[in-house]
């Protein structure tokens, strides 16, 4: 067990505070997170609000009722802050890590940022230019663009088709009024959490922060918040749908991404699937590393997995010389079959628990990762989850739990493949007759 | 001479440890050799195969911490404290008795060629990993070449080259251990590293001197790629590294582009909306210190971006910064130093980076270095030493017209 102290407080204005005190820590991370992200957007193309969650993320630090943008930036700079923000499908997070000696000064700025609901038209126009350029910048990154495209194609027609950045057309059409409407709906205190992780006195800071964030600053929400309906069509009888898209690009390598979705995993499956994921990809012990990277057939073979409301999504991206595209693809499919047929033994389960917990410990050593992880778990489970609870959840998993979670995940399956860069002529993905599962 | 640097930080949960050697990619006869060597060394030892190594390190949630820099190399790992001693043994085995199997060697060569193409296909990585140092030192200068080599150099690389480099690897080695280190562990680690270094019959070797930089004044390296949506540019300013210049350089880099309140961020991004990326970074390379100011913009604003970036840099020599800006920048750096003790790996990286360049290996001395900097000092250092044609270069990548860029850069370049 970690000896971190942790406490959760819900203030009268419905704002939740999660405080985690790390003994001996010298820095503190502030995270403010909202249940607001790309999957809450509506429509596509000009006139839609596709990309608005990310645009608002860029506007968040643009001044407060008492400070200009420059003053906000300088105030955080003076505190030695690492300041950043991120938009996801299901949440938007704002964070700043500061030396703990500057914690109170940082809290003062956060309080102002939280209540600010105004959009300066000049700042809005300038930032729109930055975002339009960011879309170009991301398109220049082939790995990023391949993943983005496969998701967009795979999730077409669902709430998850909104791929965070929006498009040049949709972002160009966003107005300050649309932004205020979105903020009014989703940036409410009962839709947010403030998380503090780091070296501080838990009791003293609980008092201080409860008082500073309890001012009558809550604004009534204009509309009720409903969890978005992903509206993902349920495949039946195994793999019902394989889609393939290809785009030639003048690059020396081939970039191939597979994306799949299965209808919602039960929350009890989440932790067993974390273990299974470790078995499949990314670390040097994983199947994909051992069979693809280690064999030298692809320089990248990345596995990703995400559980979102009523769907779970996963993907594999590999980068390889064009003449190896088919070999790597077939290897990936073979590994999928291996996973399907895998019987989880107690030894495998024990090894996976050790690896997951060990890498979690390394990850949360930095309060930035710790706080962001806590936020992501809060968004997923609709309630805070401490590191000790995480450990408990991991170590009580049985081999059967992993087996069942795997079987649930593989029950129904849709898959999309997107290939770009230099793709061999006439290449298309071939799956086993009855699908990889 | 450093033997072992051990630092204990009770707030950390892991330990990062290993060996630093003064042989880096710039010492390679065939570019890419050291990188292939380090990768191949992790593939197996006389006692542990690749899977066993992965189980002992990754399987416990740890990770290998090996990397090839231009002027030094690290063979290390980040690990839970309970596995520290076992991991040191394994690292020493990897250094002393790697199998360096032919198949692994060929795979790692192949991997590196793919990584080369990956970097080449991503314009900002291409600029930062390949072009910035080429523009600063010259294309064929050991410090100007990339550490991953080229498909051609990797093609020529033989197993004999690898073996030879392995024998030369331990040039002036020293050990490091940073993190959640108890008193008893401190002793054990120290003894173990000392014993390893002494049994390797290592003699301090004279470090190879690199040739003079070979670039014209105000060097420009422009690489045109029509299919790219953005243009990426990086102004490099080079000077000598010393305990006195490191504080000045760190201060200048922070002032220019390390925070949301910095000049580059507030002028080039917030006010002028050139693009998404605008920032600065400081790099130590052998006896030099390179300040890089980089940004991204749309092709149609390239020349305007060059003008604005050069203008912003020149401003620093024209007038002394205000007391308020000085205080903000100083407080930012001091705060950032506090943040550098959060995790063992980044603390270790900073210690290694200092130690490998002849600076005191304790990051804590950074506080003193920054407090010694004055606003007048920055202005005069910048004016006298930095914005001189021989110290400045520009790397630019993207959908550009090289002739027009040449003209635009010429209009903006610095003269004596």
Q: What is the pLDDT of residue A232?
A: 61
pLDDT at A221 over 60: no
- Six-digit token pair at A363? 């990850």
Choose the closest CB to A299 out of B55, B106, B115. B115
User: Which of B310, B316, B313, B297 shows the shortest CA–CA distance to B413?
Assistant: B310
Q: Minimal Cα–Cα distance from B48 to chain A, Å?
A: 14
Task: Tell me, yes or no, whether A360 lies in a domain.
Answer: yes
Rg of chain B taking only CA atoms, in angstroms: 22
| CA A198 to each of CA A8, A323, B416: distance values in angstroms, whole numbers, following the listed order | 15, 50, 50
CB contact under 8 A, B62 and A364: no
Choose the closest CB to A360 out of B61, B298, B328. B61
User: Which of B279, B336, B344, B338 shows the shortest CA–CA distance to B127?
Assistant: B279
Task: Tell me, yes or no, whether A221 lies in a domain.
Answer: no
Calpha distance B319→B232 (Å, rounded) = 28
Count CB-CB contacts under 10 A for residue A38.
25
Verify that A292 and A245 share a domain, yes or no.
yes
Verify that A373 and A417 share a domain, yes or no.
yes
CB contact under 8 A, A137 and B55: no
Q: Is B76 on the interface with A (CB under 8 A)?
A: no
Verify that A202 and A339 share a domain, yes or no.
no
Calpha distance A284→B128 (Å, rounded) = 27
Verify that B248 and B339 share a domain, yes or no.
yes
- Six-digit token pair at B127? 């600029």
Q: Minimal Cα–Cα distance from B80 to chain A, Å?
A: 7
Count CB-CB contacts under 10 A for residue A46.
14
Task: Tell me, yes or no, whether B204 lies in a domain.
Answer: no
Calpha distance A354→B202 (Å, rounded) = 38
Last residue of a domain, one of B199, B233, B259: B199
Output the average pLDDT for chain A: 89
CB contact under 8 A, A79 and B333: no
DSSP A133-177: HHHHHHHT-HHHHHHHHHHHHHTTTSGGG--SS--HHHHHH--HH
Task: Tell me, yes or no, whether A228 lies in a domain.
Answer: no
Task: Tell me, yes or no, whether B264 lies in a domain.
Answer: yes
Q: What is the pLDDT of residue B202?
A: 63
Verify that B256 and B312 share a domain, yes or no.
yes
- Give how many domains chain B has, as a whole number: 2
Verify that A188 and A80 share a domain, yes or no.
yes
Q: Is B299 on the interface with A (CB under 8 A)?
A: no
Calpha distance A26→A18 (Å, rounded) = 18
Verify that B322 and B185 share a domain, yes or no.
no
Q: What is the pLDDT of residue A435?
A: 58
Q: Minimal Cα–Cα distance from B180 to chain A, Å?
A: 10
Calpha distance A273→A402 (Å, rounded) = 7
How do residues A133-192 score in pLDDT, each as one tens digit?
Answer: 999 999 999 999 999 999 999 888 888 888 899 999 999 999 999 999 999 889 988 889
H-run or E-run covering B60: none
| CA A340 to each of CA A154, A270, A433: distance values in angstroms, whole numbers, following the listed order | 22, 18, 15
Task: Tell me, yes or no, whether A279 lies in a domain.
Answer: yes
Q: Minimal Cα–Cα distance from A418 to chain B, Å?
A: 18
Q: What is the pLDDT of residue A2?
A: 86
Q: Are the C-beta atoms of residues A227 and A309 closer than 8 Å to each other?
A: yes
Instruction: Give the long-range contacts of residues A63-71, CB within 8 A, separation 24 or more.
Output: A63/A116, A63/A118, A63/A120, A63/A123, A64/A109, A64/A112, A64/A113, A64/A115, A64/A116, A65/A112, A65/A115, A65/A116, A65/A118, A66/A112, A67/A109, A67/A112, A69/A120, A69/A123, A69/B270, A70/B261, A70/B266, A70/B270
- End-to-end Cα separation, chain A, in angstroms: 38
Task: Tell me, yes or no, whether A295 lies in a domain.
Answer: yes
Q: What is the pLDDT of residue A414?
A: 78
Choose the closest CB to B334 out of A23, A80, A362. A80
Nearest-5° angle of CA B345, CA B233, CA A63? 70
- Best probe of the B interface among A97, A102, A140, by most B CBs < 10 A, is A140
Q: What is the pLDDT of residue A305?
A: 87
DSSP A281-318: SSSTTSHHIIIIITTTS-SEEEEEEEEETTEEEEEEEE
Exposed, middle or buried, B216 (CB in 10 Å: 0-12/13-18/19+)? exposed
Query: Which range among A226-230, A305-309, B86-90, B369-373 has the greatest average pLDDT?
Result: B86-90
Calpha distance B270→A72 (Å, rounded) = 12
Q: Residue A9 belongs to what domain range?
A: 5-213
Q: Are the C-beta atoms of residues B325 and B251 closer than 8 Å to each other?
A: no
pLDDT at A266 over 80: no
| CA B316 to each of CA B3, B226, B269: distance values in angstroms, whole numbers, following the listed order | 40, 34, 18
Verify that B145 and B232 share a domain, yes or no.
no
CB contact under 8 A, A76 and B275: no
Task: Tell me, yes or no, whether A427 lies in a domain.
Answer: no
Q: Are the C-beta atoms of residues B254 and B328 closer than 8 Å to each other?
A: no
- Chain B residues with beta carbon closer than 8 angstroms to that of A22: 11
- Chain A residues with beta carbon closer than 8 angstroms to that of B66: none
Task: Tell me, yes or no, whether A402 lies in a domain.
Answer: yes
Verify that B225 and B306 share a domain, yes or no.
yes
Choose the closest CB to B229 out of A61, A136, A355. A136
- Six-digit token pair at A159? 């709430």
H-run or E-run covering A40: none
- Chain A residues with beta carbon closer than 8 angstroms to that of B10: 23-24
Exposed, middle or buried, B389 (CB in 10 Å: 0-12/13-18/19+)? middle
Q: What is the pLDDT of residue A220?
A: 47
Query: Is the Cα dihedral B16, A99, A192, A72 positive or negative?
Result: negative
Task: Tell me, yes or no, whether B152 lies in a domain.
Answer: yes
Verify that B88 and B158 share a domain, yes or no.
yes
Query: Is the Cα dihedral B189, B191, B193, B194 positive or negative?
Result: positive
Task: Tell me, yes or no, whether B284 lies in a domain.
Answer: yes
Verify that B178 and B129 share a domain, yes or no.
yes
Verify that A129 and A254 share a domain, yes or no.
no
CB contact under 8 A, A365 and B271: no
- Best probe of the B interface among A2, A99, A133, by most B CBs < 10 A, is A133
Verify that A242 and A391 share a domain, yes or no.
yes
| CA B79 to each of CA B343, B344, B361: distance values in angstroms, whole numbers, following the listed order | 11, 9, 21
Q: What is the pLDDT of residue A233?
A: 58
How do residues A41-96 score in pLDDT, each as one tens digit?
Answer: 988 888 899 999 999 999 999 998 889 999 999 999 999 999 999 999 999 999 99
**A18-22: average pLDDT:** 96
Verify that B308 and B190 share a domain, yes or no.
no
Verify that A202 and A291 share a domain, yes or no.
no
pLDDT-flagged residues of chain B (< 70): 1, 201-207, 415-416
Q: Is B105 on the interface with A (CB under 8 A)?
A: no
Verify that B365 and B259 share a domain, yes or no.
yes
Task: Tell me, yes or no, whether B205 lies in a domain.
Answer: no
User: Which of B233, B238, B215 shows the shortest CA–CA distance to B223?
Assistant: B233
Q: Where are the alpha helices (DSSP H) in B169-234?
A: 183-199
Verify that B38 and B168 share a domain, yes or no.
yes
Last residue of a domain, one of A213, A229, A257: A213
Q: Minimal Cα–Cα distance from A241 to chain B, Å?
A: 31
How do residues A312-371 score in pLDDT, each as one tens digit?
Answer: 888 999 999 999 999 999 999 999 888 888 899 999 999 999 999 999 999 999 999 999
Residue B269 is given by DSSP the state I
CB contact under 8 A, B61 and A136: no
Verify that A198 and A264 share a domain, yes or no.
no
Per-residue confidence at A237, pLDDT binned at 50, 70, 90? very low
CATH number of the domain that residue B19 is part of: 3.30.830.10
- Give how many domains chain A has, as a whole number: 2
- Chain A residues with beta carbon closer than 8 angstroms to that of B346: 366
Q: Are the C-beta atoms of residues B360 and B242 closer than 8 Å to each other?
A: no
Verify that A160 and A18 share a domain, yes or no.
yes
Count CB-CB contacts under 10 A for residue A425.
7
| CA B197 to each of CA B173, B185, B191: distance values in angstroms, whole numbers, following the listed order | 8, 18, 10
Q: What is the pLDDT of residue B203?
A: 59
Calpha distance A24→A182 (Å, rounded) = 41
User: Which of B128, B124, B135 shows the shortest CA–CA distance to B222?
Assistant: B135
Q: Residue B185 belongs to what domain range?
A: 4-199
Verify that B235 and B332 share a domain, yes or no.
yes
How do residues B268-296 score in pLDDT, each as one tens digit?
Answer: 999 999 999 999 999 999 999 999 999 99
What is residue B26's three-state secondary structure? helix
Q: Minimal Cα–Cα distance from B263 to chain A, Å?
A: 10
Calpha distance B18→B22 (Å, rounded) = 14
Question: Tokens 């769907």 — which residue?
Answer: A311
Task: Tell me, yes or no, whether B212 lies in a domain.
Answer: no
Q: What are phi and psi of B301, to 5 degrees?
A: -110, 15
- Six-digit token pair at A230? 């992903």
CATH number of the domain that residue A401 is part of: 3.30.830.10
Choose the closest CB to B80 out of A284, A300, A361. A361
Verify that B72 and B186 share a domain, yes or no.
yes
Q: What is the pLDDT of residue A115?
A: 81
pLDDT at A198 over 50: yes
Verify that A36 and A126 share a domain, yes or no.
yes
Choose the closest CB to A358 out of B61, B229, B344. B61
Task: Tell me, yes or no, whether A436 lies in a domain.
Answer: no
Q: Where are the alpha helices (DSSP H) in B258-364?
A: 263, 302-318, 323-339, 344-355
Task: Tell me, yes or no, whether B207 lies in a domain.
Answer: no
Last residue of a domain, one of A179, A213, A247: A213
Task: Tell me, yes or no, whether B211 lies in a domain.
Answer: no
Calpha distance A398→A346 (Å, rounded) = 8
Last residue of a domain, one of B199, B230, B258: B199
Q: Minimal Cα–Cα distance from A126 to chain B, Å?
A: 6
For A101, name the nearest residue in chain B, comparing CA atoms only. Answer: B335
CB contact under 8 A, B11 and A358: no
Verify that A264 and A355 share a domain, yes or no.
yes
């Amino acid at each position: 067990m970690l000896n971190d102290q942790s406490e959760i407080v819900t203030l009268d204005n419905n704002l939740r505070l999660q405080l985690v005190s790390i003994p001996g820590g010298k820095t503190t991370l502030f995270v403010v997170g909202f249940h607001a992200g790309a999957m809450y957007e509506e429509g596509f193309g000009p006139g839609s609000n596709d990309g608005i969650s990310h645009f608002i993320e860029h506007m968040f630090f643009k001044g407060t009722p008492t400070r200009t943008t420059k003053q906000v930036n300088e105030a955080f700079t003076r505190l030695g802050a690492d300041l950043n923000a991120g938009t996801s499908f299901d949440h938007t997070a704002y964070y700043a890590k500061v030396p703990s000696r500057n914690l109170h000064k940082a809290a003062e700025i956060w309080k102002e940022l939280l209540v600010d609901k105004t959009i300066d038209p000049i700042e809005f126009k300038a930032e729109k230019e930055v975002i339009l350029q960011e879309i170009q910048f991301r398109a220049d990154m082939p790995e990023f663009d391949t993943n983005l495209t496969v998701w967009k194609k795979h999730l077409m027609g669902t709430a998850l088709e909104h791929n965070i950045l929006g498009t040049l057309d949709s972002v160009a059409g966003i107005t300050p009024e649309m932004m205020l409407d979105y903020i009014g709906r989703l940036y409410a205190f009962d839709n947010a959490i403030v998380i503090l992780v780091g070296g501080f006195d838990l009791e003293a800071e609980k008092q201080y922060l409860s008082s500073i964030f309890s001012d009558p600053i809550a604004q009534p929400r204009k509309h009720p918040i409903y969890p978005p309906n992903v509206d993902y069509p349920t495949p039946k009888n195994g793999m019902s749908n394989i889609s393939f898209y290809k785009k030639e690009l003048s690059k020396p390598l081939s970039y191939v991404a597979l994306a799949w979705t299965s209808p919602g995993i039960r929350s009890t499956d989440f932790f067993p699937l974390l273990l299974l994921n470790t078995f499949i990809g990314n670390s040097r012990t994983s199947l994909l590393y051992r069979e693809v990277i280690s064999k030298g057939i692809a320089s990248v073979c990345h596995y990703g997995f995400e559980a979102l409301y009523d769907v779970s999504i996963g993907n594999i991206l590999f980068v390889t010389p064009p003449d190896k595209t088919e070999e790597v693809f077939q290897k990936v499919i073979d590994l999928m079959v291996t996973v399907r047929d895998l019987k989880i033994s107690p030894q495998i389960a024990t090894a996976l628990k050790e690896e997951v917990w060990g890498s979690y410990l390394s990850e949360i050593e930095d309060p930035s990762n710790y706080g962001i992880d806590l936020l992501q778990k809060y968004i997923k489970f609709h309630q805070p989850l401490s590191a000790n609870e995480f450990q408990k959840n991991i170590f009580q998993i049985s081999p059967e739990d992993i087996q069942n979670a795997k079987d649930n995940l593989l029950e129904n399956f849709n898959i999309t493949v997107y290939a770009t860069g230099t793709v061999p002529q006439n290449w298309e993905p071939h799956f086993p007759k009855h699908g990889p599962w | 001479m450093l033997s072992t640097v051990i630092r204990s930080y009770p707030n950390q949960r892991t330990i990062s440890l290993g060996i630093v050697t003064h042989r880096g990619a710039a010492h390679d006869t065939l570019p890419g050799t050291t990188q292939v060597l380090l990768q191949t060394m992790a593939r197996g030892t006389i006692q542990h195969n690749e899977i066993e190594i992965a189980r002992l390190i990754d399987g416990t949630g740890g990770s290998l911490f090996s990397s090839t820099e231009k002027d030094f190399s690290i063979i290390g790992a980040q690990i839970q404290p309970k596995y520290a001693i076992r991991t040191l043994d394994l690292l020493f085995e990897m250094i002393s008795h790697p199998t360096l199997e032919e198949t692994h060697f060929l795979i790692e060569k192949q991997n590196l060629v793919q990584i080369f193409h990956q970097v080449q296909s991503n314009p900002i990585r291409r600029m930062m990993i390949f072009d910035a140092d080429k523009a600063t030192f010259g294309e064929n200068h050991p410090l100007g070449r990339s550490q991953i080599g080229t498909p051609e150099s990797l093609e020529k690389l033989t197993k004999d080259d690898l073996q030879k480099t392995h024998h030369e690897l331990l040039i002036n080695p020293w050990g490091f251990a940073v993190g959640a280190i108890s008193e008893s562990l401190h002793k054990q680690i120290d003894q173990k590293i000392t014993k390893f270094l002494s049994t390797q019959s290592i003699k301090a070797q004279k470090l190879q001197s690199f040739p003079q930089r070979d670039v014209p004044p105000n060097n420009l390296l422009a690489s045109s790629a029509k299919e790219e949506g953005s243009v990426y540019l990086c102004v490099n300013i080079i000077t000598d590294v010393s305990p006195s210049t490191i504080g000045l350089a760190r201060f200048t880099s922070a002032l220019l582009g390390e925070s949301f309140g910095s000049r580059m961020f507030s002028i080039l991004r917030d006010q002028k909306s050139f693009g998404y990326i605008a920032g600065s970074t400081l790099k130590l390379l052998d006896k030099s210190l390179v300040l890089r100011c980089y940004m991204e913009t749309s092709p149609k604003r390239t020349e305007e971006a060059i003008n604005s970036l050069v203008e912003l840099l020149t401003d620093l020599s024209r007038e002394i910064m205000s007391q308020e800006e000085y205080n903000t920048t100083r407080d930012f750096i001091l705060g950032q130093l506090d943040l550098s003790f959060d995790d063992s790996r980044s603390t270790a990286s900073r210690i290694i980076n200092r130690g490998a360049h002849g600076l005191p290996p304790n990051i804590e001395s950074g506080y003193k270095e920054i407090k010694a900097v004055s606003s007048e000092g920055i202005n005069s250092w910048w004016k006298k030493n930095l914005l001189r044609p021989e110290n400045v270069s520009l790397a630019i990548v993207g959908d550009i017209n090289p002739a027009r860029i040449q003209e635009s850069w010429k209009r903006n370049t610095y003269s004596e």
